[in-house]
Amino acid sequence: MRTPEQVFGTTIRELRLERGWTQEQLAERAYLHRTYVAAIEAGKRNVAIVNVVYLARAIGVAPGELFRNFTKPYIDRQPPNDRNATRMSRNKRGNRTQEVVGSIPFSSTNGFAPRRRVGFVVTRRIRST
């Protein structure tokens, strides 16, 4: 599955090519740098909302039109930096269990200790239907 950045970049590229513009021409009209527009189209940049508005204004569409290719799987998807892993297994009695292994950010209350990640494991039994 493509990332949201790649879907957004594809939409920008399609609209730019419909108008027959180069990346440089779009960048000039949107007051952005040419390499930034190239990185957006390649799906390598997470675009700020201000730049979404600049791009939409330059292309001549509403900002919402730039998100036309997004479908429901992108809305339901968990963030890519989620470090939790789920594993299905059976316990000693043969019951199905789900184990979530991951880590969460932790910092001290005084703010002087370095930030670190604390690991955790959560196991729950899944009822048979």
The tens digit of pLDDT for each residue in 16-53 reads: 999 999 999 999 999 999 999 999 999 998 899 999 99
67 or 122, which is more confident: 67
pLDDT score at 22: 96
pLDDT per position as a tens digit, 88-117: 666 677 767 666 655 555 544 555 545 555
Does pTM top 0.75 for this prediction? no
Tell me the pLDDT of the chain averaged across its residues: 76
| Domain assignments of the chain as residue spans, ordered by start | 4-76, 85-125
* Correct CATH for 4-76 of 1.10.260.40, 1.10.760.10, 3.40.50.1820, 3.60.15.10: 1.10.260.40
Q: Which amino acid is at 52?
A: V
Asked if residue 121 lies in contact with residue 111, where contact means CB atoms within 8 angstroms, the answer is no
